[in-house]
Amino acid sequence: MEAQNAQRRSYQVVIAATRNMGIGIDMKLPWDLPNEYQFFQDVTSRTSDPRKRNATIMGRKSWEATPLEFRPLPGRLNVVLTRSNCHSIPTDDDNVMVCGSMESALELLAKPPYSFSIEKVFFIGGGELLRQYMNAPSCDAIHLTEVDISVPCDTFAPRVDTCLYRPWYSSLPVVENGIRYSFNTYVRRKDLISGSGVEAEQYSFLPKMVFERHEELGYLNLVQQIISHGDLNDNNTLLSKFGCQLRFNLRKTFPLLTTKKVFWVGVVEEILQLISGSTYPREKGIKHIWESDEAKEYLDSFGVDATEEDGDHPLLTGLYWRHSDASQELSQISDVINKIKNNSHDRGITLSACKLSLSSCQTFAQFYVANGELSCQIYQSSTEASLGIPFSIAAYSLLTCIIAHVCDVVAGDFIHLIGDAHVNTSHTKAIQKQLQISPKPFPILKINPEKTKIDHVEASDLDLLDV
């Protein structure tokens, strides 16, 4: 955390790097990406308090590599690190400060007047300093633009140490000047952030524009919209909104929502059951997964009575997947896999997960392959927003990840289209409370690499890390 009263400030790294972490060639950037540069400008310049500014710490060579017309970086305190005095860095400029070490810079920034006037501290390279300080204990977060190219470089950054950091956010890939890249933020694992405060506040040190990119906020905003502006039905029991879209990036993390408990065991069981095509539970001894103790506890947490009649409970609409006969389901899944493997440009790679005529929660999935990545869009005609949407996001994301895995492609996007998204009016108070919770980093899904056939995948092959 940015402890402004501490003896030393902490900082966040902001850099862009190629696949093999190349960051420079001949004292220049190896690409021309104006929008990427704009992101750098925005993240390092913006403050929430207009009376404050941010500091950017850089090595002497990075200072010299910055074109004359851009230095000092405007609107920021430029802190230049050098061990020698013989360089022409202006010392009479209020926007420039020269320091002999990272430690002395962070100590100075923790003392008045900087402790009051500097909001955030960003460390922006270059290679020599990144090798010393990128994964160091004072680094709270790393904002890394991953540029998907392989070009000659003479300066490199170290890789992000995933034992120390976990992904907070990864943008959908963008293409500029023919180069594909994505914006990624990694945060220090929570037990490693020194002096970390209240859990909900834990990631508030991130720049607002990055914090707000967490994909779970899209879901929370939707639920808020339903509660605040939804249409009330005739007997005042449901608030609903029609025509909603949510989007999740499956490339680095898995969207098991973090602000509410999602019944992961149930998600896995439902998906494996759907894949098997069976209408019977896989586990012997459990009549139905929704009758297990864990399911009851999950439903109880939302104030739902887990009884025999649950199948008809409106809150459970969207949780149930109604299976048609085994051979039909199996053939749909096989057809999807066959097309992804052998005819990936097919425009009709689709899967209907329920008998449309029988269910009010009709779900229809379509798959799409591009750039070696498998994306999935589902349409759900009606679903309950507090339980049903989080469950469906996890279930269909899992299905996408499993299919991508057995087809040897990368999981890409998951898009959730919802016709009627609703909440029960009697639950709005409890849901409002949940909406106050800040999201945490999503977990990471690992699938047993030895399982290459879809019907061989079992629950024990699906490992959710960092839940």
- Residue numbers at the binding site for ligand NAP (CB under 6 A): 15-16, 23-24, 27-29, 58-62, 65, 81-84, 87, 100-102, 124-129, 132, 155
Shortest Å distance, C-beta 108 to ligand NAP: 13
Minimum gap (Å) between residue 59 Cβ and ligand NAP: 2
* Residue 361 a catalytic site member: yes
CB nearer ligand NAP, residue 84 or residue 236: 84
Q: How far is the CB of 156 from ligand NAP (least distance, A)?
A: 8
- Strand 238-249 and strand 410-424: the pairing is antiparallel
Min dist. Cβ of residue 20 to ligand NAP (A) = 13
Which is closer to ligand NAP, CB of 142 or CB of 394?
Answer: 142
For β-strands 139-147 and 11-18, DSSP reports them as parallel
Distance in Å, CB of 278 to ligand NAP, minimum: 52
Query: Which are the contacts of 46, defined by CB distance < 8 A and separation ≥ 6?
Result: 54, 207, 208, 209
Question: Which two tokens mark 389?
Answer: 């949407």
Q: Which of 244, 361, 401, 407 is catalytic?
A: 361
For ligand NAP, the closer of residues 88 and 342 by Cβ is 88
What does the alpha-carbon distance between residue 15 and residue 183 come to, in Å, rounded to a whole number? 10
At its nearest, how many Å lie between ligand NAP and the CB of residue 310?
53
Bridge partners for 424 per DSSP: 238
CB nearer to ligand NAP: pick between 62 and 380:
62
Of 81 and 121, CB closest to ligand NAP: 81
Surface-to-core class of residue 254, CB atoms within 10 Å of its CB (0-12 exposed, 13-18 middle, 19+ buried): buried
Please say which residue, 125 or 412, places its beta carbon nearer to ligand NAP. 125
Tell me the three-class secondary structure of the chain, residue by residue: CCCCCCCCCCEEEEEEEECCCEEEECCECCCCCHHHHHHHHHHHHCCCCCCCEEEEEEEHHHHHHCCHHHCCCCCEEEEEECCCCCCCCCCCCCCEEEECCHHHHHHHHCCCCHHHHEEEEEECCCHHHHHHHCCCCCEEEEEEEEECCCCCCCEECCCCCCCCEEEEEECCCEEECCEEEEEEEEEECHHHCCCCCCHHHCCCCCCHHHHCCCCHHHHHHHHHHHHHHCEECCCCCEEEEEEEEEEEECCCCCCCCCCCCCCHHHHHHHHHHHHHCCCCCCCCCCCCHHHCHHHHHHHHCCCCCCCHHHHHCHHHCCCCCCCCCHHHHHHHHHHHHHHHHHCCCCCCEEEECCCCCCCCCCEEEEEEEECCEEEEEEEEEEEECCCHHHHHHHHHHHHHHHHHHHCCCEEEEEEEEEEEEEEEHHHHHHHHHHHCCCCCCCCEEEECCCCCCHHHCCHHHEEEECC
- Amino acid letter, 452: T
- The CA distance from 76 to 73, in Å, is 6
Q: Taking the complex as a whole, how short is the minimal distance between the CB of residue 58 and ligand NAP, in angstroms?
A: 6
Please report how close the Cβ of residue 85 comes to ligand NAP at its closest, in angstroms.
9
Q: Least distance from C-beta 195 to ligand NAP, angstroms?
A: 24
Phi first, then psi: what are they for 32, rounded to 5°?
Answer: -125, 100
Residues with a catalytic annotation lie at 361
